[in-house]
Amino acid sequence: MLSTAHRVRTATDFSHTVRSGARSGCRNLVLYAVGTGTGTPSRFGFIVSKSVGNAVTRNLVKRRLREAAASALAQRPVGLDVVVRALPPAASASWFDLSSDFERCLASSVKRFSKSGGRKEDGK
Gyration radius of the chain's alpha carbons: 13
Contacts of 91 (CB under 8 A, 6+ apart): 52, 53, 57, 61
Instruction: Tell me: pLDDT of 11 over 60.
Output: yes
Residue 18, classified by CB atoms within 10 Å of its CB into exposed (0-12), middle (13-18) or buried (19+), is: middle
Range of the domain at 75: 4-113
91 in a domain, yes or no?
yes
**Does the pLDDT value for residue 119 go beyond 80?**
no
This prediction's pTM: 0.86
Structural domain contains residue 124: no
Q: Is residue 119 part of a domain?
A: no
pLDDT in tens, 82-99: 999 999 999 999 999 999
**Which residues are paired to 31 by β-bridges?**
24, 84
What pLDDT sits at residue 123?
43
Identify the CATH number of the domain in which residue 28 sits.
Answer: 3.30.230.10
Residue 121 lies in a domain: no
Using an 8 Å Cβ cutoff, are 18 and 62 in contact?
no
pLDDT at 25: 94
Q: How many domains does the chain have?
A: 1
Examine residue 120 and state whether it is found in any structural domain, yes or no.
no
